Amino acid sequence: MRKFYLPLLVLLLFVAIIGGSWLRVFNEYWQLVLLYMGINIILTVSLNLINGYMGEFSCGHAGFMGVGAYVAGLLSVWLFAEDKVFGPPVLPAALAIPLFPVILIVGGVAASLVGLLVAIPSFRTRGDYLAIITLAVNYIIKSVLENFAPGGARGFVGMKRVMNNMDGVFDAPWLLIWTFIGMILTIIIIRNFVSSILGKGVVAIREDEIAAELMSVNTRRVKVIAFMLSCGLAGLAGGLFAHGPGGYINPGTFTILKSTEIMVMVYLGGMGSLSGSIISAVGFTLLLEILRPLGVFKWVVIPLLLVVMMLVRPSGIMGNKELTDVFPRLRAIFGSKEESYALASD
């Protein structure tokens, strides 16, 4: 019986958010906020795998988001929209709805392949040097997009037409739906992976990589898996982002500044804490909205907040604990670490 609590909760959440958006209970503004919350959750949870669980300092996450955004955006416009660069749509609009997740996945896969650019150097380098490599890769991606992608530095437009076509077939908050599903999938994937013994190899690498290698952990394989998962999910977030309002992306969005934003959310939530990442992503998105009246000044306040946090509570909101560690009663819904240790099945 207990096993149904969590799926039920997720379903309720889905109905509340999607239903509320469809029925216009949430206006356009709040739908946008919810959209960004979802995207930020995916970005934060995926980066946490590398920066939190694996203990690396990857500062180029936005680059992979950019890869996903461009691949998914270009693909969907080519397939489903009339465009200056690509000409008429290749496929009928009716297929846009079922094929949209495929497009997102293609974007994610592309991003995860680009992630190999960071995964392979990570075999020999760690720490500060790997940080630089991630920086350089972020910059290279942005530069490649500027120089080779349609639209160049000015950016690429057109995804809005795709979304409109989808609305034309059946009017629903499609992007929000897919963002919600993407978010849930991200959480499930990461949670399942890190709770498996294979996934615990990631933490072993963080704690003592040499010992891990000597205790039969294939550290290279684990690193590749971790990076590809992390970058792929960032690509998924990028694909969703590309279809946001305006339907416009440009390379300038996916710079180190954006990577820093994602890092802020990870460290705010607590490295190695899944619930921390989720809470932090939601909270930070709200914070950005609350501070919106400050305009540009909010980026003066936010760094100072984080500096203060480093002084007062550097391990972040949740540290490396999960919500179920702090509120054990929640184990009834979310399950617990011990439960996965249960030797007898229910």
Partner 1 sequence: MPLLQIKNLTHFFGGLRAVYDFNLDLEEGELVGLIGPNGAGKTTIFNLVTGAYKPTEGEVRLNGDNLVGLRPHKITAQGIARTFQTIRLWNEMTVLDNVCVAHAARIKYSLLDSILHGRRYQEEERQIKEQAIELLAAFGLAGQAQELVKNMPYGAQRRVEIVRALATEPRLVLLDEPAAGMNPGEIGELMGLIQRIRQEFDLTVWIIEHQMRVIMNICERIKVIDFGETIAEGTPAEIQNNPKVIEAYLGEEVF
Partner 2 sequence: MTIDIFLQHLLNALQWGSFYALIALGYTMVYGVLLLINFAHGDIFMVGAYVGFFIATFLLGIAAIFFGAALPMWASWLILILTILGSMVLTAGVGVGIERVAYRPLRERGAARLYLVITALMIGIFLEYLNLSLLGAADRGFPELIETHIYTIGNVSFTNIKLMVIGLAVVVMIGLEVFLRRTKMGLAMRAISYDKVAVPLMGVPMNAIIAVTFAIGSALAALAGVMYGSAYHVLGFDMGILIGWKAFVAAVVGGIGEVRGAMVGGFLLAFIEIFVVALGDVPGLEWLSSTYRDLVAFTVLLVILTIRPTGIFGVARRQKV
Which backbone phi and psi does 156 adopt, to 5 degrees? -130, 130
CB of 230 to partner 1, least distance (A): 13
6 forms part of the interface with partner 1 (CB under 8 A): no
Q: Which is nearer to partner 1, 171 or 338 (CB)?
A: 338
307 forms part of the interface with partner 2 (CB under 8 A): yes
Q: Which is nearer to partner 2, 108 or 316 (CB)?
A: 316
Q: Which is nearer to partner 1, 128 or 338 (CB)?
A: 338
Closest CA to 261 of 40, 32, 38: 40
Task: Lay out the site mask for partner 1 across 173-202 (x = CB under 8 A, - = otherwise).
Answer: ---------------xx--xx--xxxxxx-
- Rg of the chain, C-alpha, whole Å: 20
Cα of first residue to Cα of last residue in the chain, in angstroms, is: 10
User: 67: which 2 tokens?
Assistant: 């890869």
Residue 124's binding partner out of partner 1, partner 2, none, with CB under 5 to 8 Å set by partner kind: partner 2
204 forms part of the interface with partner 1 (CB under 8 A): yes
Task: Lay out the site mask for partner 2 across 80-119 (x = CB under 8 A, - = otherwise).
Answer: ----------------------------------------
Q: Give DSSP secondary structure letters for 224-242.
A: HHHHHHHHHHHHHHHHHHH
**C-alpha pair distances (Å), 146 with each of 37, 121, 237:** 27, 24, 20
CB of 331 to partner 2, least distance (A): 30
Residue 143's binding partner out of partner 1, partner 2, none, with CB under 5 to 8 Å set by partner kind: partner 2
Which strand (E) or helix (H) includes residue 5? helix 5-14
134, 263 Cβ separation under 8 angstroms: no
226, 112 Cβ separation under 8 angstroms: no
Residues 6+ apart with CB under 8 A from 214: none
Among positions 208, 290, 303, 314, the unique one binding partner 1 when judged by CB under 8 A: 208
133 forms part of the interface with partner 2 (CB under 8 A): yes
CB of 140 to partner 1, least distance (A): 27
Residue 257's binding partner out of partner 1, partner 2, none, with CB under 5 to 8 Å set by partner kind: partner 2
CA geometry: angle at 118 spanning 65 and 242, to 5°? 10
328 forms part of the interface with partner 2 (CB under 8 A): no
Residues 6+ apart with CB under 8 A from 118: 58, 60, 130, 133, 134, 137, 227, 231
Residue 303's binding partner out of partner 1, partner 2, none, with CB under 5 to 8 Å set by partner kind: partner 2
Among positions 207, 300, 304, 305, the unique one binding partner 1 when judged by CB under 8 A: 207
CA dist 101 and 236 (Å) reads 10
Residue 136's binding partner out of partner 2, partner 1, none, with CB under 5 to 8 Å set by partner kind: partner 2
Residue 200's binding partner out of partner 1, partner 2, none, with CB under 5 to 8 Å set by partner kind: partner 1
Buried b (16+ CB within 10 A) or exposed e, 241-262: bbbbeebbbbbebbbbebbebb
**Residue 59 in 3-state DSSP?**
coil
CB of 208 to partner 1, least distance (A): 5
Q: Which is nearer to partner 2, 20 or 319 (CB)?
A: 319
Q: Which is nearer to partner 1, 5 or 193 (CB)?
A: 193
300 forms part of the interface with partner 2 (CB under 8 A): yes
Please report, as ranges, the residues that interact with partner 1 according to CB under 8 A. 188-189, 192-193, 196-201, 203-204, 206-208, 210-220, 225, 272, 320, 338, 340-341, 343, 345
